[in-house]
């Protein structure tokens, strides 16, 4: 697991939740990993690119629907999920979670991390 | 039609929680079997007390039975649940015309027109009521006649409508193919503007990307995307194949309830997609 020192505490907020397999800060514009704390085997760069692309599509669709900016979204899967909060700066705070994770708690920590990242 | 009643009754018996009671109730109503329709609607309402379309169905049956006071209450309840429900707006306009309150009737019709500008019944009733060349009373009577939810005049529910009977079918449910082409439903923004095509275009490819992300992370099959917005919530579900189902509700609807609504709509979409295959 690696994270730029300035972003480490923000990622710590998320990864300390039980059931979280890793967290990343991703540039929302180009899908590049800014910082990451991921378990072995997770392909951070590829996940970041896809998460960024999904986030962009959702943001545009929600704005077109008059729902305003996306505050939190979650990709739900049979064996876990991807949880994302966009920070005001455009950075995405991304968590990879196991199926039995406390989604409400991860959401709260993602929002706190987004606030810390700015 | 008799076969259809039998089929729908059988479906309802197998799954008493399903929304098929809406179609069955409407069908019985169209056949003039008001008591049977009444029973089906009431049973459905007991199981789905917050479903706007269920209250609307019950109101139409009550109006058929000339129980206008209770019909008014049911349409009023429909609007409390779904303020832009065109059926309820038309129903209340009809009742206001019946009691001679043309102002209220026109106000409800105008609201209905904002939400359903292409509804010929609303346009015709407004034209008749505002024409008034032959006197206000006769104009109102003609408009009421146009709006009357009588069984014979009621348009049958189209089997082909993907989300027939589901709450928000024409404003907050959208079924798309992988290329972002609309298969059914419609979407309106909070101001009532149709945003179906724009939203569909932005969502093209989401199903594919969600599947790739899930595969890359070894998370199995993706089952949904839930998103919170500043003014509303969104739930995306893959009902079958590459199709994508979008359900939108305002922030008053909790995410958990939205997931249940999406699940029901996905069932309807899946059945429809299977019929088309």
Q: Tell me which of B212, B228, B256 to substitute to probe the interface with A (most A C-beta atoms closer than 10 Å).
A: B228
Residues with Cβ < 8 Å from B67, sequence gap 6 or more? Answer: none
Q: Are residues B191 and B242 in the same domain?
A: yes
CA-closest candidate to residue B249, choices B241, B240, B257 = B257
Q: Are residues B104 and B234 in the same domain?
A: no
Q: Tell me which of B84, B227, B266 to substitute to probe the interface with A (most A C-beta atoms closer than 10 Å).
A: B227
Q: Are residues B17 and B94 in the same domain?
A: yes
Q: Residue B17, class by beta-carbon neighbours within 10 Å (0-12 exposed, 13-18 middle, 19+ buried)?
A: exposed
A35-50 pLDDT tens trace: 999 888 888 899 899 9
Domain boundary among B106, B130, B147: B147
Residues of chain B with pLDDT under 70: 1-2, 131-171, 276-277
Q: B227 vs A70: CB contact, 8 Å cut-off? A: yes
Q: Which residue has the higher pLDDT, A83 or B125?
A: A83
| H or E segment to which residue B130 belongs | helix B120-131
Q: Are residues B10 and B137 in the same domain?
A: yes
d(CA B60, CA A96): 50
Number of domains in chain B: 2
Q: Would you give the end-to-end CA distance of chain B in angstroms?
A: 24
Q: Are residues B17 and B143 in the same domain?
A: yes
Q: Are residues B107 and B232 in the same domain?
A: no
Q: B199 vs A82: CB contact, 8 Å cut-off? A: no
- What is the pLDDT confidence band of residue A27, given thresholds at 50, 70 and 90? very high
pLDDT attached to residue B64 = 85
| H or E segment to which residue B183 belongs | strand B182-187
pLDDT attached to residue A82 = 96
Q: B229 vs A57: CB contact, 8 Å cut-off? A: no
Q: B226 vs A47: CB contact, 8 Å cut-off? A: no
Does B271 fall in a domain? yes
Does B154 fall in a domain? no
Q: Are residues B139 and B245 in the same domain?
A: no
ipTM: 0.91
pTM confidence score: 0.59
pLDDT attached to residue A59 = 92
Q: Phi and psi (nearest 5°) for B150?
A: -70, 150
Q: Are residues B139 and B177 in the same domain?
A: no
Does B26 fall in a domain? yes
Q: Are residues B142 and B176 in the same domain?
A: no
Q: Are residues B177 and B263 in the same domain?
A: yes
Does B162 fall in a domain? no
**Residue A79 structural domain:** 5-117
Q: Tell me which of B189, B213, B216, B244 to substitute to probe the interface with A (most A C-beta atoms closer than 10 Å).
A: B213
Q: Residue A90, class by beta-carbon neighbours within 10 Å (0-12 exposed, 13-18 middle, 19+ buried)?
A: exposed
> Domain containing B77 — which CATH number?
1.25.40.10
CA nearest B224 in A: which residue? A76
- In order of A114, B51, B114, B131, B200, the CA distances from A76 in angstroms are 21, 26, 36, 55, 21
Q: Nearest-CA distance from B192 to chain A in Å?
A: 10
Does B93 fall in a domain? yes
Does B158 fall in a domain? no
Q: Are residues B142 and B93 in the same domain?
A: yes
B168-201 pLDDT tens trace: 555 688 888 877 888 888 888 888 788 888 888 8
Tell me which residues of chain A have a C-beta less than 8 Å from any C-beta of chain B. Answer: 41-43, 46-47, 50-51, 53-54, 57-58, 60-62, 64-82, 96
d(CA A33, CA A35): 6
Does B164 fall in a domain? no
Q: Are residues B31 and B77 in the same domain?
A: yes
Q: B209 vs A43: CB contact, 8 Å cut-off? A: no
> Domain containing A30 — which CATH number?
3.30.450.30
Q: B230 vs A67: CB contact, 8 Å cut-off? A: yes
**Residue B110 structural domain:** 2-147
> Domain containing B233 — which CATH number?
3.30.450.30
Number of domains in chain A: 1
Domain boundary among B132, B147, B162: B147
Q: B205 vs A57: CB contact, 8 Å cut-off? A: yes
Q: A77 vs B219: CB contact, 8 Å cut-off? A: yes
């Amino acid at each position: 697991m690696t994270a730029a020192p300035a972003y480490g505490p923000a990622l710590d907020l998320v990864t300390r939740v039980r059931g979280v397999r890793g967290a990343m800060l991703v540039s929302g514009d180009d899908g590049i990993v800014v910082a990451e704390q991921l378990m072995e085997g997770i392909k951070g760069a590829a996940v970041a690119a896809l998460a960024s692309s999904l986030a962009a599509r959702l943001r545009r669709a929600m704005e077109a629907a008059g729902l305003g900016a996306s505050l939190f979204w979650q990709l739900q899967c049979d064996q876990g999920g991807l949880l994302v909060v966009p920070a005001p700066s455009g950075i995405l705070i991304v968590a990879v979670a196991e199926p039995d994770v406390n989604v409400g708690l991860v959401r709260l920590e993602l929002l706190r991390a987004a606030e810390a990242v700015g | 039609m008799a076969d259809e009643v039998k089929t729908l009754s059988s479906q309802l018996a197998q799954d008493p929680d399903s929304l098929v009671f809406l179609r069955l109730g409407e069908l019985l109503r169209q056949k003039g079997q008001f008591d049977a329709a009444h029973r089906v609607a009431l049973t459905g309402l007991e199981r789905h007390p917050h479903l706007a379309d269920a209250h609307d169905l019950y109101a139409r049956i009550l109006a058929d039975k000339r129980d206008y006071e209770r019909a008014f209450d049911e349409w009023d309840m429909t609007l409390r649940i779904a303020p832009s429900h065109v059926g309820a707006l038309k129903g209340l306009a009809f009742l206001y015309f019946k009691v001679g309150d043309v102002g209220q009737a026109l106000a409800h019709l105008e609201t209905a027109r904002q939400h359903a500008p292409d509804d010929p019944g609303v346009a015709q009733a407004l034209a008749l009521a505002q024409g008034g060349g032959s006197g206000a009373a006769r104009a109102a009577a003609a408009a009421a006649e146009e709006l009357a939810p009588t069984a014979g005049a009621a348009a049958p529910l189209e089997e082909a409508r993907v989300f027939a009977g589901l709450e928000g079918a024409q404003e907050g449910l959208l079924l798309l193919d992988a290329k972002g082409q609309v298969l059914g439903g419609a979407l309106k923004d909070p101001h009532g503007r149709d945003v179906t095509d724009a939203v569909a275009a932005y969502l093209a490819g989401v199903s594919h990307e969600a599947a790739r992300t899930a595969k890359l992370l070894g998370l199995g099959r993706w089952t949904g995307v839930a998103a919170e917005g500043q003014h509303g919530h969104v739930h995306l579900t893959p009902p079958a194949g590459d199709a994508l189902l979008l359900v939108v509700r305002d922030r008053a609807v909790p995410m958990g309830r939205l997931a249940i609504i999406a699940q029901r709509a996905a069932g309807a979409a899946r059945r429809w997609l299977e019929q088309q295959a």
